[in-house]
Chain A
Amino acid sequence: MGRLTPLAAPARRLPAGVKLLLLAAASVGLFRLGDPLALAAAVAAVLALAALAGAWSAVAGLRPLALVIVLSFAMHAALGDWLLGLVVCLRIVTLVILAGIVSAVTPLSEMLTAFERALAPLRRLGVPTRAVAVALAMTLRFAPLLAERWRTLGEAWRTRSPRRPHWRLLIPFVIGALDDADRAAEALAARGGFLEK
């Protein structure tokens, strides 16, 4: 994965917290930038960064958003301000690519550690930060699992039905997800999750 690109190693070595802070700073900067030419330059810059850091997967992250971007531009154009539409879309594209680069060059565990550290001051106010961190990790674990469940339900449907699967899959999906939740609670209990300390 991008071993031969010049920025891959330093991008990975940079602490996750720094990368997240840079990302936050870049978002603020982008929202202060209103000139479409400057934003186009920003898009070019993040594309170059993605290439240098060996994180082309970040660009692929745009695909699910393509419709949103097109609709957003069409909406603005229909309302008579296509220039504003262009500005908004360029901002979204730049930010999505930038966020994609950060997640591509940052191991998940480092991201979670940075996140926990950022939450640490809240602990003094009595907020259970460990629970928040575990919930975040479990979300990352279960999102693909739920997608997989949806896919296998679709397969099960197609093996016995000539018609395309539709909303009726939602019922077994939700029941299955609730089952998963019960099992996850058991697995948490088995290894001391949220023990009273």
Chain B
Amino acid sequence: MPKVGASFQQRNERDENGVNGAVQGVELTDVTVRRGGQVALAAVSLALGERRIGLVGRNGSGKSTLARLVKGLLKPDAGCVRVHGLDPAARSREAVACVGFLFQNSDHQILCPTVVEEIAFGLVEFGTPRREAEDRARALLADHAVADWAARPVAALSEGQRRLVCLLAVLVMGPRLLVLDEPYAGLDIPTRLRLARFIAGLPQQVMLIGHAAEDFAGFDRILWLEAGRVERDGPPETVLPAFLAAMHRLAGLGDLRDADGTAEATPWVA
């Protein structure tokens, strides 16, 4: 994954000037989301303008809910979500194009049988003629030194290769904000390091869900979610150590068995 397509750079320069004077970044005002009778987010208010924002928290803490809200895959039950002044759940062309979303499992994202079609998909949906869209997809693959993947069936790619295809399929649409749901899950170490370097080089604003401190090198701000609320919010050097210490404390308490060998009552998930 050597370099980032020049088109993204241009896009970013335009973005920094702001479009229509709209608010930059993500704004949540008193957002509550209920899922399956439980509160997934409880009256959360946030203004996120930093270039690199990390989301940490336990399973079920609300990270994915927040990410899905920002992409517009979920609607808030109460409150208001705005991304660059747009309502992501309105499914307007501008709102869909504004935010790119990388699914945690590549197989949940891929819709087409071959690589070139998969990357061209979003462009075609936005009205680019198929031939032109596929030419742009091929050019993007060539930019990343993987031109020979174009005609391959996605099923023939490795997990790491599929992750790159998914990311390119999102980037080709020129989003201003990228939401990455655990992009490093299931990758081997070299692939993970290359992907991290690739993400670090992207001009877009990035919101990334992760678990390890190394996922957030160079990040500006970390949100630690706990039971649908923001537990801590600040720079990584203060939030991450507190988060990791708390997680290790929980693991210690939640040991599977007591000293006498009887099963512990502490549940796996709070």
Q: Is the CB of A116 within 8 A of B130?
A: yes
Instruction: Give CA–CA (A193, B110) in the complex, Å.
Output: 13
A21 within 8 A of B: no
Q: Is the CB of A109 within 8 A of B111?
A: no
Q: Is the CB of A191 within 8 A of B117?
A: no
What chain A residues lie within 8 Å of B101 (beta carbons)? 190
Instruction: Give CA–CA (A129, B130) in the complex, Å.
Output: 13
What chain B residues lie within 8 Å of A195 (beta carbons)? 91, 93, 96, 125-126
CB-based A-B contact count at 8 angstroms: 82
B1 within 8 A of A: no
Partner of B113, one of A130, A141, A184, A189: A141
Instruction: Give CA–CA (A191, B121) in the complex, Å.
Output: 8
**Nearest B-chain residue to A144, judged by Cβ:** B155
Q: Is the CB of A191 within 8 A of B73?
A: no
Partner of A187, one of B97, B111, B113, B153: B111
Known: A107-B151, A141-B154. A192 touches B126 (CB 8 A): yes
What chain B residues lie within 8 Å of A183 (beta carbons)? 103, 108
Instruction: Give CA–CA (A109, B155) in the complex, Å.
Output: 15
**Nearest B-chain residue to A194, judged by Cβ:** B125
What is the distance, in angstroms, from B180's C-beta to the closest C-beta of chain A?
Answer: 12
Per-residue A-contact encoding for B104-135, CB less than 8 Å = 1, 0 else: 00011111111011000110111100110010
What is the distance, in angstroms, from B132's C-beta to the closest C-beta of chain A?
Answer: 12
Instruction: Give CA–CA (A192, B93) in the complex, Å.
Output: 7
Instruction: Give CA–CA (A145, B113) in the complex, Å.
Output: 10
What chain A residues lie within 8 Å of B124 (beta carbons)? 130
A174 within 8 A of B: no
**Nearest A-chain residue to B109, judged by Cβ:** A187
What is the distance, in angstroms, from B196's C-beta to the closest C-beta of chain A?
Answer: 22
Partner of A109, one of B73, B117, B154, B173: B117
Q: Is the CB of B151 within 8 A of A189?
A: no
Q: Is the CB of A190 within 8 A of B154?
A: no
Q: Is the CB of B111 within 8 A of A192?
A: no
Per-residue B-contact encoding for A101-116, CB less than 8 Å = 1, 0 else: 0000001110011001
What is the distance, in angstroms, from A196's C-beta to the closest C-beta of chain B?
Answer: 8
Known: A109-B151, A186-B73. A191 touches B173 (CB 8 A): yes
Instruction: Give CA–CA (A134, B112) in the complex, Å.
Output: 8
Q: Is the CB of B117 within 8 A of A190?
A: no
Q: Is the CB of B112 within 8 A of A138?
A: yes
What chain A residues lie within 8 Å of B40 (beta carbons)? none
B71 within 8 A of A: yes
Instruction: Give CA–CA (A56, B88) in the complex, Å.
Output: 50
Per-residue B-contact encoding for A145-181, CB less than 8 Å = 1, 0 else: 1000000000000000000000000000000000010
Q: Known pairs A113-B130, A190-B103, A193-B111. 5 more at Cβ < 8 A?
A: A189-B91, A190-B96, A191-B111, A191-B169, A195-B126
